[in-house]
Amino acid sequence: MTTTRFAPSPTGYIHVGNLRTALMNYLIARKAGGTFILRIDDTDPERSKEEYVDAIKQDLEWLGLHWDRVERQSERLDRYAEAADKLREMGRFYEAFETPTELDLKRKKQLNMGKPPVYDRAALKLSDAEKDALRAERGNGVWRFKLDHERIEWNDGILGDISIDAASVSDPVLIRGDGQVLYTIASVVDDTEMGVTDVVRGSDHVTNTATQIQIIEALGGTCPRFAHHSLLTGPQGEALSKRLGTLALRDLREQGVQPMALLSLMARLGSSDPVELRSDMSELIDGFDINRFGAAPTKFDVQDLFPLTAKHLQSLPLADVTDAVADAGVPAELAEPFWAMARENITTLSDLKGWWDLCREGAEPLIADEDREFIAEAVALLPEGPFDAETWGTWTKAVKEATGRKGKGLFMPLRKALTGMERGPEMATLLPLLQVIRARG
Ligand code: GLU
């Protein structure tokens, strides 16, 4: 059975880049009728925070990305210790004592000599006595996984055939000197034991994948299918990594971005399918195919979310926005005609308030000098209330007959006088709202 997971580290709020990963894994699982696991990668006790775990769940729930179960790495430390023991017994695990400064120096030397900065495995040559001495001097060493120096190959769901020479990669550290288990081994143990069949993650993980494939094989597990999506860039192709902090899902929510707008964009951006607003998750699931995504960096422009949000809002019945309409101050008995008028004229729900203020208080009229007389005449012809959908038609017909004006010369000054704007809602739908408000005092 298809099983995928989204595996955030709870060290911050999740952003659009994380969403791309979450969504792809979610869609694969749902399309196959499989399982979607939310895995909290919290093996780092200093940086992991409970408040971020809660925030991640809230953000996923807001988007409707429901998970089938939650797993926490901090509760599975014994499993990772067992795997580490197994690797030790197999002779694939070795202790190394270099300090960060020593490693840095080695890397610099290698680079100076035009060699790739790969860990030189000096620790493999240490005798037991030398190790004891180093341990006494520096404390416990780190534990590195000894890669087999052969080519590591896989068929990537997005990148195609990949082949990496293991000799060009440093033996990965899986356990730190203080005993903290690192993500690389924890992830392998989890993916294997939880039967994960498909792993989609960012292309910054490609080298991890290569080493993880060897660790999975050493532990006797089955490799999942891997796919690495390209990294997001800004609209001009500029690196987005530094700005991702400002693209947290909660900030977008705060700015009024609607979940379907965000999902519609992120589920297709960077693929050969067009980005179109979808009406619900099932449409996104049906049309999703990981193989249609390209390896090139994907441009993301936060501004694209707003037209999609506006379009989504236009499609909604009042029932879906009752709270927002009420929050804007609109009384329940006017909610229906108000929403019919406003939904065509908003980008986000926070614009509702402005339209309601206009209905309630009226606008500062915009009247050109040459229209003053005309407006005075028109106002005199305004019928008695209450106004309805016909009022605008009857009134403007009367004004036309009395003044001889027609077309734009007739309608535009009236619109500007009533709304203070040159563009906006259908006047026929707006007028009854203005009237009711006035009649209500
Ligand atoms: N916690 C890892 C990360 O956030 C998970 C990577 C993976 O999908 O394996 O990068």
Residue nearest to atom 3 of ligand 1 (CA): 8
Weakest mean pLDDT among 54-68, 235-249, 251-265: 235-249
Give residue 8 CA to ligand 1 midpoint distance, Å: 6
Give residue 181 CA to ligand 1 midpoint distance, Å: 14
Average pLDDT over residues 167-173: 97
**Ligand 1: nearest atom to the Cα of 208:** 9
pLDDT > 70? residue 275: yes
Instruction: Give me the residue label for tokens 């028109």.
Output: 378
Give residue 20 CA to ligand 1 midpoint distance, Å: 13
**Ligand 1: nearest atom to the Cα of 6:** 8
How many other C-beta atoms lie within 10 A of the C-beta of residue 268? 19
Model pLDDT, residue 98 = 97
pLDDT > 80? residue 245: no
Domains within the chain, CATH numbers bracketed = 233-314 (1.10.1160.10), 324-440 (no CATH)
Average pLDDT over residues 344-364: 94
Angstrom CA distances, 382 to 386, 412, 436, stand at 11, 16, 14
Q: Which helix (H) or strand (E) holds 308?
A: helix 305-314
Give residue 63 CA to ligand 1 midpoint distance, Å: 20
Q: How confident is the model at residue 441 (pLDDT cuts 50, 70, 90)?
A: very low
Whether 192 lines ligand 1, by a CB cut-off of 6 Å, is no
Model pLDDT, residue 240 = 81
**Ligand 1: nearest atom to the Cα of 187:** 9
pLDDT > 50? residue 440: no
Whether 198 lines ligand 1, by a CB cut-off of 6 Å, is no
Model pLDDT, residue 239 = 84
Residue nearest to atom 4 of ligand 1 (CA): 8
Q: Which helix (H) or strand (E) holds 35?
A: strand 35-40
Summarised one tens digit per residue, pLDDT across range 31-83 is 999 999 999 999 999 999 999 999 999 999 999 999 999 999 999 999 999 99
Of all residues in the chain, what percent carry a pLDDT higher than 90?
Answer: 93
The answer to whether the CB of 238 falls within 8 A of the CB of 306 is no
Ramachandran bin of 329, using left for φ above 0, alpha for ψ from -120 to 50, beta for the remaining angles = left
Give residue 306 CA to ligand 1 midpoint distance, Å: 29
Average pLDDT over residues 389-414: 95
Whether 187 lines ligand 1, by a CB cut-off of 6 Å, is yes
**Ligand 1: nearest atom to the Cα of 201:** 8
Average pLDDT over residues 381-398: 91
Model pLDDT, residue 242 = 75
Whether 8 lines ligand 1, by a CB cut-off of 6 Å, is yes
Whether 24 lines ligand 1, by a CB cut-off of 6 Å, is no
Average pLDDT over residues 346-362: 95
**Ligand 1: nearest atom to the Cα of 9:** 1
Instruction: Give me the residue label for tokens 């614009």.
Output: 351
Reading the block at residue 102, the tokens are: 């020593």
Model pLDDT, residue 163 = 98
Whether 142 lines ligand 1, by a CB cut-off of 6 Å, is no
What is the overall mean pLDDT for the chain? 95
Model pLDDT, residue 229 = 97
Model pLDDT, residue 246 = 77
The answer to whether the CB of 259 falls within 8 A of the CB of 2 is no
Residue nearest to atom 10 of ligand 1 (CA): 8
Model pLDDT, residue 318 = 98
Whether 41 lines ligand 1, by a CB cut-off of 6 Å, is yes
Summarised one tens digit per residue, pLDDT across range 106-149 is 999 999 999 999 999 999 999 999 999 999 999 999 999 999 99
Closest to 64 measured CA to CA, from 229, 283, 272, 237: 283
Whether 48 lines ligand 1, by a CB cut-off of 6 Å, is no
pLDDT > 70? residue 224: yes
pLDDT > 60? residue 368: yes
Q: Which helix (H) or strand (E) holds 63?
A: helix 50-63
Strand, coil or helix: what is 165?
strand
The answer to whether the CB of 271 falls within 8 A of the CB of 293 is yes
Summarised one tens digit per residue, pLDDT across range 182-207 is 999 999 999 999 999 999 999 999 99
Strands (E), 245-350: 298-299
